[in-house]
Structure 1
Amino acid sequence: MHKFRLMTQADVAQVLDIQAQCYPARLLEDEATIRARLDSAPDSAWVAEHKNRPCAYLVGYRSVVGNITPLSSPFDIPAQTDSLYLHDLAVDKSAQGFGLGPQLVDMAWEKARAEGLKYSALVSVQDSLNFWKRLGYEVMEELCVNQTANLHSYGPASSYMVRLLG
């Protein structure tokens, strides 16, 4: 049985281990970045745990559709927001197949709706485009120049995606 809860600073070491399992070296973000992001948006980062140990996580923050945080940069949280940006979702290899990713995303959407946010957005990496499409996200092609540059920090196969929360 898996338990879901908000992420804490005590979870960061395990989050780093999960991240290292799921992403190539060029997409890994360091401990200081993860800790700073958790400090800036502590109520929009969650873990799924099994036997009191995180086995999946989702980190998000409030944003505006069309804004993309570059890889390994601090979250830029504007005063006025319309979306919950899902920055990072990863599931430990031992916990895959239990639907933890979609369950974490559902929790995030529930929070976003409760706050009156109209959208969820993200950057799809590593051939995850179809996963996100199954969850209702669509690629947003038209971005301003600086946001396109931010998107490219994730690599050539990355896509910016948005979903209307209804």
Structure 2
Amino acid sequence: MSGGDGAQVQIAPMEPGDIAEALAIQAQAYPASLQEDAAVFAARLALSPSFCFTARRAGAMAGYLIAHGWERANPPAIGTLTGPAGASEVLYIHDLAIAPGARGLRLGERLVARAFDAARASGLCEAELVAVEGAHSFWHRLGFREGHSPAIAAKIVSYGVGARWMQLEEISPA
């Protein structure tokens, strides 16, 4: 599929060798308080590699999505290296970032669609995330709704002011 500028876009599984490029995009997309280091990226990728993808244009990474199976209503704090606290009950979208020069090409939606396909194939039919930096409107368009509870509010404090825990009750086919 081509972007608006005609550049070919490829969505592919994320590999450990992709982490350095993903960190560069993360640095452009998020404030320092939300940036994680290579060890955290590697731990998340190792947790559920079948749910992590990259988008490339002309060979260069233009975006990435890191997701994994996780326990329902238990978002991990930023920077944690721990494995799941319980059973993988939902697809947890940990991080989605698009390089500034590739925004507007619908890469985020394409990355999420690939993760949803993988989740359904693994028997996961719900998804959760913490929206930061005003991204909640993007996630609303994909069907996510905000959830509220004192327990969740305490868990997402590390994500900063304005962070919103969101859930999708049914991952539907694209």
TM-score by length of 1: 0.93
1:113 matched to 2:120: yes
Give the whole-Å Cα distance in 2 for the aligned partners of 1:80 and 1:70.
Answer: 18
Give the drift of 1:15: 0.3
- Which of residues 123, 126, 131 is equivalent to 2:130? 123
For 1:41-94, what per-residue CA distance to the aligned partner results, in whole angstroms no more than 9, with x for missing partners? 222110001122211000000012201110000253255322100000000011
Given the superposition, is the C-alpha separation of residues 16 and 51 from structure 1 closer, same or farther in structure 2, using an over 3 Å criterion?
A: same
1:69 matched to 2:76: yes
Structural RMSD (CA): 1.4
Give the whole-Å Cα distance in 2 for the aligned partners of 1:162 and 1:135.
Answer: 11
2:50 and 2:118 in contact (8 A); partners too: no
- Which of residues 136, 147, 150 is equivalent to 2:155? 150
Gaps spanning 5+ residues in structure 2: where? 1-7
In the alignment, which residue of structure 1 is the partner of 2:4?
none
1:60 and 1:88 in contact (8 A); partners too: yes
- Which of residues 25, 28, 38 is equivalent to 1:21? 28
Gaps spanning 5+ residues in structure 1: where? none
Given the superposition, is the C-alpha separation of residues 81 and 11 from structure 1 closer, same or farther in structure 2, using an over 3 Å criterion?
A: same
Give the drift of 1:112: 1.1
- Which of residues 127, 149, 161 is equivalent to 2:166? 161
Given the superposition, is the C-alpha separation of residues 122 and 107 from structure 1 closer, same or farther in structure 2, using an over 3 Å criterion?
A: same
In the alignment, which residue of structure 2 is the partner of 1:135?
142
For 1:101-149, what per-residue CA distance to the aligned partner results, in whole angstroms no more than 9, with x for missing partners? 01101111111112221201000000111111111000110253xx432
Sequence identity percentage: 33
Give the whole-Å Cα distance in 1 for the aligned partners of 2:52 and 2:96.
Answer: 10
1:83 and 1:118 in contact (8 A); partners too: yes
Give the whole-Å Cα distance in 2 for the aligned partners of 1:154 and 1:6.
Answer: 26
